[in-house]
């Protein structure tokens, strides 16, 4: 079965719960430096039609996951000095992490223990910071017909397609690529990790950490979204904690 999302077609496995979808610790990886903005756009002359189609498929699935997670996030707008001070104090709180494992869907990760698990249509699981739902950790699991991320393309190629998809969104004012990396778990499973910033009319400036892997004909997509504006920037300590969440995303251990 194929599904059309924002003008791109990608292959889903024929699964009943996907038909009901309503919205269109491993070693630290070595990161590649940000490339000039011109390199963020894919030229069809530089890849085979097969690779182009597969990568379009992947960016569409990733974009679908981002739309799911963004559509269930909300922004706490702080306009007065007291609210801004309160926001800054909340931002400086130290996060502690705890292990979360979904044995049914087959994934595991560390997550902020104080963030609240919320039930939202379209997301497999979503954790939100209390009183600031735009800071969240979400996972989407989608059946696919491929068995490896390499079937979609290289990490950089996938990152380029994701940034393209972000820039095409009506609400996006700017999307800035930061880095992309690849790591392997103990079983050799490939995991792509992408970091970028988005300035949007629906939430302001955000730092996004994404990770994806394919296992058992399922695409596992993690998105970590956190505010990173001028008034309340993402501090170094909290960034390190969010990176721990990113690097912990893996298949669940077999029981």
Model confidence, pTM: 0.69
Task: Kindly tell me if the per-residue pLDDT of 150 is higher than 50.
Answer: yes
Q: Tell me the C-alpha distance between 165 and 66, whole Å.
A: 10
At what angle are helices 49-71 and 155-168 packed, to 10 degrees? 50
Task: Kindly tell me if the per-residue pLDDT of 33 is higher than 80.
Answer: no
Name the pairing type of β-strands 125-129 and 172-184: unpaired
pLDDT for the residue numbered 217: 93
Q: How confident is the model at residue 164 (pLDDT cuts 50, 70, 90)?
A: very high
Q: If you average pLDDT over residues 175-195, what whole number do you get?
A: 95
Q: Tell me the C-alpha distance between 21 and 83, whole Å.
A: 37
Whether the Cβ atoms of residue 220 and residue 212 lie closer than 8 Å to each other: yes
The 10s digit of each residue's pLDDT in 5-16 is 333 334 555 543
- The domain made up of 2-23+30-89+98-251 is a member of CATH 1.10.1040.10: no
Q: For the chain, what are the domain ranges? A: 2-23+30-89+98-251
The 10s digit of each residue's pLDDT in 187-243 is 999 999 999 999 999 889 999 999 999 999 999 999 999 999 888 899 999 999 999
Task: Kindly tell me if the per-residue pLDDT of 126 is higher than 60.
Answer: yes
Establish how many alpha carbons lie within 13 A of residue 46's alpha carbon, considering only the half-sphere containing its beta carbon: 8
Angle at 171 between CA 166 and CA 176, to 5 degrees: 40
pLDDT for the residue numbered 68: 52
Better-scored residue on pLDDT, 36 or 156: 156
Name the pairing type of β-strands 132-143 and 125-129: antiparallel
Q: How confident is the model at residue 19 (pLDDT cuts 50, 70, 90)?
A: very low
Q: If you average pLDDT over residues 90-94, what whole number do you get?
A: 56
Residue 212, SS3 per DSSP: strand
């Amino acid at each position: 079965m194929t599904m059309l999302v924002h003008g791109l077609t990608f292959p889903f496995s024929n699964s009943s719960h996907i038909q009901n979808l309503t919205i269109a610790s491993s070693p630290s990886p070595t990161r590649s430096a940000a490339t000039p903005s011109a390199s963020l756009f894919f030229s069809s002359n530089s890849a085979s039609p097969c690779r182009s189609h597969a990568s379009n498929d992947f960016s569409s699935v990733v974009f679908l996951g981002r739309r799911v997670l963004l559509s269930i996030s909300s922004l706490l707008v702080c306009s007065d000095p007291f609210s801004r001070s309160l926001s800054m104090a909340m931002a400086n709180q130290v996060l502690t992490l705890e292990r979360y494992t979904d044995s049914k869907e087959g994934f595991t990760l560390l997550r902020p223990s104080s963030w609240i698990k919320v039930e939202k249509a379209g997301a497999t699981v979503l954790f939100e910071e209390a009183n600031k739902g735009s800071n969240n950790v979400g996972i989407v699991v989608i059946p696919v017909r491929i068995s490896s991320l390499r079937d979609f393309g290289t990490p950089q190629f996938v990152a380029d397609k994701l940034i393209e998809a972000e820039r095409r969104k009506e609400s996006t004012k700017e999307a800035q690529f930061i880095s992309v990396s690849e790591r392997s778990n103990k079983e050799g499973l490939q995991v792509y990790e992408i970091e970028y910033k988005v300035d949007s009319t629906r939430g302001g400036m955000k730092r996004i950490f994404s990770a994806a892997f394919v296992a058992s004909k399922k695409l596992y997509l993690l998105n970590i979204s956190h505010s990173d504006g001028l008034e309340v920037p993402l501090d170094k300590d909290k960034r390190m904690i969010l990176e721990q969440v990113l690097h912990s995303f893996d298949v669940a251990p077999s029981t």
